[in-house]
Structure formats: C-alpha cells, structure tokens
Amino acid sequence: MIVILTFQNPINESVQTGDIVFAISNFTQAGGFQHNNLNNAREIGYIDAFSNRDGTQSDPIEIRVEQTTSATVNPGDFIMFSKNKAANTSGVSGYYANVKMVNDSSKEIELFSVGSDITINSN
C-alpha cells in the first residue's frame, strides 16, 4: 500500500529514498519542549519517491511511502525518518559539512556532546 505524506515546509536535507518513516502521536509539554517516549513511535514504511524537495504553501512536498506495516499516520503526528543501516554505513561523504543547531526552547539548555565521522570522497 502507498501512503502520501504532504509537508508545507522544507524537510531535513538528508532525507532520501529508502529511508524508513516513523510516526508518533500524543506529545506532552514539559520544560518548554514537547516530548514523548520513542517506544511509542510507529514504523510506517520506506520512502519510495519525492515530488518536491523545497516545499512552499503553493507547492507542498509530497513523499510517497511504501507502507510495510499496518500502522497509520494520523493528523498532527510527528513524522521522523531513519536511515537504512545496510545502505548508510559510513560517515558524511565529501570535503565540507554545514551544521546548524537551534534551541527552540524558551529556557536555557546544555549541549552535552557533538561528534562527527567524515569520509573524504572525490566523486
């Protein structure tokens, strides 16, 4: 079965065909953040195709998902993507990486650790 997910805003640039899609509902508010136990995430299926990568109000992103479970996506669900471990076993490929970290909380937070694994690639 095919599920079409529609997004009005740009999505993470690293999302690609073959990634696994998860949905999670019923977030609770605590300390300025919405949260839920990741054990409540439902696997939906694998990304089959994209219609648009940038997304605007007039031209939303549509992601075609090959549903592999009986789990459903409900309005208001938070959608997450996971890389296929068999296909993505190395680090970032190339000579340059750009990272942006944002704290959307109204409270101060502490970042414990940031790490990276870079694989130089001339392709």
Structural domain contains residue 121: no
pTM of the model: 0.62
Give the span between the Cα atoms of 123 and 117, in whole angstroms: 18
3-state DSSP: the chain helix, strand, coil percent, rounded to 5?
0, 35, 65
In the structure, what pLDDT confidence band is assigned to residue 91 with cuts at 50, 70 and 90? low
More confident residue, 82 or 54: 82
CA distances from 46 to 43, 79, 104, 106, 116 (A): 9, 13, 29, 35, 26
Structural domain contains residue 77: yes
67-80 average pLDDT score: 87
Structural domain contains residue 38: yes
Q: What is the pLDDT of residues 107-116, one digit of tens each?
A: 888 888 888 7
Structural domain contains residue 32: yes
Domain range enclosing 70: 2-86
DSSP symbol at 64: E
Structural domain contains residue 11: yes
Q: How many domains does the chain fold into?
A: 1
Paired strand residues for 42 = 23
Q: What is the pLDDT of residues 58-68, one digit of tens each?
A: 788 889 999 98
CA distances from 61 to 13, 56, 100 (A): 12, 8, 22
Mean of all residue pLDDT scores within the chain: 80
